[in-house]
A and B are shown apart, each in its own frame.
Chain A
Amino acid sequence: MVSSRRKFIKISALGLGGAAVSAAAFNFLSGSTYLDELVYAKVTENYKKTATYCEVCFWKCAGWIYSDENNNVKKIIGNEDDFQCYGRLCPRGTGGVGMYTDPDRLKTPLIRDIVNGEETFREASWEEALTLVASKMKAVKDTHGAESIALIKHGEPGGHFEHLLKSFGSDTVAEPAFAQCRGPREIGFKLTLGSWVGSPEPTDIQDTKCLVLIGSHLGENMHNTQVQEMSDAIDRGATIITVDPRFSTVASKSKFWLPIKPATDMALLLSWMHVLIYENLYDKEYVEAFGLGFDQLKDHVRTFTPDWAYGITTIKPEIIRKTAREMADAAPAVIVHPGRHVSWYGDDSQRARAVAILNALLGSWGRQGGFYFKEALKVPDFPQPAYPKPKWTWRELSAKYPYAEMGVTNEVIRQSIPAEDVTHPVKGWIVAGCNLPVAIPQKELLLKAIDSLDFMVVVDTMPMEVTGYADVVLPECTYLERWGSIRSSTGREPSLALRAPAVEPLYDSKPAWWIAKQLGEKLGLHDYFNYTDYSEVLDWQCKQVGTSLEEMLKIGVKNYPRKTGPLYINSNLDYKFPTKSGKIEFYSEELASIGQPPMPVYTPHPEPEKGFYRLNYGRAPMHTFSRTANNPNLNDLMSENCVWVNPKVAKIEGLNADQYVWLKNQDGVISTFPIKVRITERIRFDAVYMVHGFGHDNKKLSNAHGKGISDTEMVTKVSIDPLMGGTGMRGNFISFIIENPNKNI
């Protein structure tokens, strides 16, 4: 009845590329007098089409930028050949236009200076700003070593500065994407199944019969392909089970919604294991062939009955049993989703391990409708000399945590504050595409670290809060105005995507590759930047993998056949998992040997006191954290966040709908701005919820300033994951302040 995406692609293949999707379906209109001439505007009116991939979030959907002869970006449309978006961008990708048109963009380099006794930014030329940055980098290198310069990055521009820093002799690189976001799940899955989940997640939603979401609000997070495949799964009648204290969008589309008491997910996961094992529902052949330590797991979960879990999670035993059976019925075409932002309570890698174990019991890893084996194309690096070997790197800096497999941002912060336990002192920061005060908890520590630095340079397109702390601000142009690194993505099939400039950079902004190259040349690193324009690098790389810049400019995306074998394990019982033992590690000798629980255990987490509510936060589909809060198109859809409050709580606290209140957390920190109250049945009575990324205090963000509050500001307490250094942020509690706490100041 309803066309599947496969059919959709088939139809579009008959068309004339991007725009002609529906030609076959709609030709009944051709030759009609349908059109009102006076409202007629030709769709493709002299628009230029330029290949790009999106940079509004990390999903990197490929698309086409439509621009006119006056350098106006008109619209951005998904590339039909891209398996990461199937020709459909999400609202943020569509609204990427606003990244370019935002009048608040950073326009020229800025240098911190003292004018009339006051610290201020003055506009500077690129020459002056870059000379200053280079001299500061040299000074740190001469005094402390190049390693003492750290890069904190997010997104594609960060890669160019990573190249610069490595050429300079430092590999002190960290991304909040690890310790503040998805690091725990990567480690939990690696310890169990042998590999990171990675991005995009290899969830085979298009063929699944049962999708289990635990703390993942798919549909509010617009992880494009997953949302599209989930929608198809709904059409196919697949079962969705959602575990969330909030009636999320996807909870409303689920056969089962389990409104769990926050912070008790581990108990539910363990009791699901109990049901699968003790009701003999697990995949015996799979577990026998691939598992290690199943008997220990069986003993371990013996007492974790649904009745035990009920008292902890508030989920009724029969629902726990029913949902476990539903998963087993669908197995192996079942996905217990690994989630994405999972740094919640400090035992997050262990919780991720529980999710991995559950998938293993269901036999879903490496199975159709479960998780497929992803593959990417290896694109060679542009020829350059080998990087110098640093004396220490992010690994040594993060060594406190045995499984810190990427730089731990909170360790960079700690090692930037002079103290006795500092082993790897950091003296300078390059911050690229990371609005640290809104992304990193414990603001006080962050500011102390920044205060201790010899220098800090920030590269961004917008006057984000972090720019206010910089010594030098370098205005980057948006992704629509520059070449980008080639996108080689992992997926069912390897694919490449090109990012080409559609328009000239506005103002005096410059591409990240150009900024890095100029700095490199000033630092005597010419050999590492042996090109005039980044397109030379791209062309060389394209030619190594059987294409060319010329071809990529025409097609935008190129897909390659798989080379690493089948998508699934299929009937190969000799398959070796990439763990140390070659098996799925239900019991981890490795963890036991370092004194960590070899199997996941439930630990009660702190509860809110009377008058306090647990602060939960998440995403809205039209925003990417603070990155898009000021974007004119996306701000137009949602300009502020609000605090979700259950009606019973509203009654107790005397709150009215749409009233503005201030929040105060367990440590007495009061929100800078007030937030609107949203009274809704969609949330439990022991927690509140808000969308992350609002409450901007930089007045230069004219749309976003003072709108809503920053949840991160309320996160002053973190629980550190002992395995990988993640900062668990869901253990903060807030109360409401109705009177303006600032009115007497």
Chain B
Amino acid sequence: MRLAMVIDTKKCVGCSDCVVACQTENDVPIGYCRDWITETVNGSYPSLELELRSERCNHCDNSPCVRCCPTGASHYGTGGTVLVTKNECIGCGACIESCPYDARYQHPKGYIDKCTFCNHRVKEGLLPACVSVCPTKCMYFGDLDNSHSEVSQLLRNRKYKTLAPEAGTKPQVYYLI
């Protein structure tokens, strides 16, 4: 199983609902976030392009954060998700430094925190909080090893990109463009 997220930039309006939903679902303290919105503007008036993206941990196949963790707190979970075991984490921050996506932060309680693909929800057959709340339904989640899954079909039929592919991390959040 290879869990992945596919996000359609053609539909995202950058409303940040994913950010608030994650915050309330995962008790992320105010002032921190596990996901966020970026805006990229290209061109000059009036020939413009705008891309809005909901970003988070890319749950990379080849994760520098897992490799550099001195205690093994950062590890791969089922479906290739990248997780942090809180009570094994010493808060050294090596993973934060190594992540090309700036996806991790130090929780006020000391450990390093990040997106879990809402594994506690997925276990119960629910979608990640961000995916289930999105008013534009621009986010999709599923198993890329299953060729019939919605995410597999989308990647087969649409143009897409990943972020910082040159870093060689094999990110698993895909953006439809």
A-side interface residues toward B, CB under 8 Å? 1-3, 5, 8, 19-23, 25-30, 32-36, 38-44, 74-78, 88-91, 94-95, 97, 219-220, 222, 224, 227-228, 230-232, 234-235, 247, 249-253, 257, 259, 621-622, 632-634, 636-638, 646-647, 680-685
Contact = CB atoms under 8 A, between A and B. Distances in A.
Contacts of A231: 11, 13, 135-138
B91 to A, nearest CB: 16
B45 A22 contact: no
B86 A38 contact: yes
Of A5, A27, A633, the most chain B CB neighbours within 10 A belong to A633
B92 interface: no
Interface stretch (B64-72, B76-84, B159-167): B76-84
Name the 10 nearest CB pairs between A and B, nearest first.
A34-B78, A219-B13, A621-B15, A252-B50, A231-B136, A75-B24, A91-B17, A23-B125, A94-B20, A95-B20
A484 B127 CA distance: 31
Contacts of B16: 91, 621-622, 637-638
Nearest to B87: A38
Contacts of A25: 127, 142, 150
A260 to B, nearest CB: 11
Interface stretch (B93-101, B102-110, B115-123): B115-123
A35 B83 CA distance: 10
Contact of A235 (B11, B23, B84, B125): B11
A515 B136 CA distance: 39
A633 B20 contact: yes
Contact of B52 (A222, A249, A681): A249
A358 to B, nearest CB: 23
B126 A3 contact: no
Contact of B50 (A22, A249, A647): A249
A219 B15 CA distance: 7
A39 B150 contact: no
20 contacts: A22-B125, A23-B125, A34-B77, A34-B78, A39-B119, A40-B120, A91-B19, A94-B17, A94-B20, A95-B20, A95-B24, A219-B15, A220-B13, A227-B13, A227-B15, A234-B10, A249-B52, A622-B20, A636-B31, A636-B33
**Most chain B CB atoms below 10 A, which of A5, A19, A637, A684:** A637
Contacts of B153: 1
Contacts of B158: 1
Interface string B18-32: 011101110000110
A39 B30 contact: no
Name, among B17, B48, B49, the residue most crowded by chain A CB atoms within 10 Å (CB to CB): B17
Instruction: Name which of B23, B134, B142 has the most chain A CB atoms within 10 A of its CB.
Output: B23
Contact of A34 (B21, B48, B122): B122
A214 B50 CA distance: 19
A646 B45 contact: yes
Contacts of A247: 41, 45-46, 48, 50
Nearest to A21: B132
Given A21-B126, A75-B24, A28 B146 contact: yes
Interface of B: 1, 10-11, 13-17, 19-21, 23-25, 30-31, 33, 41, 43-46, 48-52, 77-79, 81, 83-87, 116, 119-127, 132-138, 142-143, 146, 150, 153-154, 157-158
B11 to A, nearest CB: 5
Contacts of B24: 74-76, 94-95, 97, 633
A21 B27 CA distance: 22
A90 B17 contact: yes
Nearest to A226: B135
B120 A35 contact: yes
A88 B135 contact: yes
Contacts of B154: 1-2
B15 A22 contact: no
A39 B13 contact: no
Given A89-B17, A621-B15, A634-B20, A227 B135 contact: yes
Nearest to B121: A43
A33 B138 CA distance: 29
Given A36-B77, A36-B85, 15 more contacts: A2-B154, A23-B126, A26-B127, A32-B123, A33-B78, A39-B83, A40-B123, A42-B124, A91-B19, A222-B135, A231-B135, A249-B14, A259-B46, A633-B24, A682-B48
Contact of A633 (B30, B49, B87): B30
A1 B150 CA distance: 8
A634 B122 CA distance: 26
Contacts of B146: 28
Contacts of A621: 13-17
A2 B79 CA distance: 23
Contacts of A40: 119-120, 123
